[in-house]
Amino acid sequence: MQLVVIAQEPRPETMDGRLSPPWTLAQAAAVRLAALADTLETVAATPASRRVLALDGQPGSWVPAGLDVVAPRRGTLGNVLFGAFEDCFHVSDEAVVLIGMDTPQLTSDHLLTARMLLETSADAVVGSTPSGGTWMIGLSHLHPGAFAGTPASSDDTAEAQIERLRGCGYQVADIEQLRDLGDAEDAVALADQLAGTRLAAAVQAAVRDARRR
Rounded percentage of the chain residues whose pLDDT exceeds 90: 84
Q: Where are the alpha helices (DSSP H) in 76-197?
A: 77-91, 108-120, 157-167, 184-193
Taking the whole predicted model, whether its pTM rises above 0.85 is answered as: yes
9-44 pLDDT tens trace = 999 988 877 888 889 999 999 999 999 999 999 999
Extents of the domains making up the chain:
2-212
CATH superfamily of 2-212: Spore Coat Polysaccharide Biosynthesis Protein SpsA; Chain A (3.90.550.10)
Provide the b/e sequence for 189-202 (b: ≥16 CB within 10 Å): ebbeebeebbbbbb
What pLDDT shows up at residue 15? 81
Provide mean pLDDT across the span 53-65: 95
3-state secondary structure 103-134: CCCCCHHHHHHHHHHHHHCCCEEEEECCCCCE
- Smallest CA-to-CA distance from 8 within 45, 35, 47 is with 35
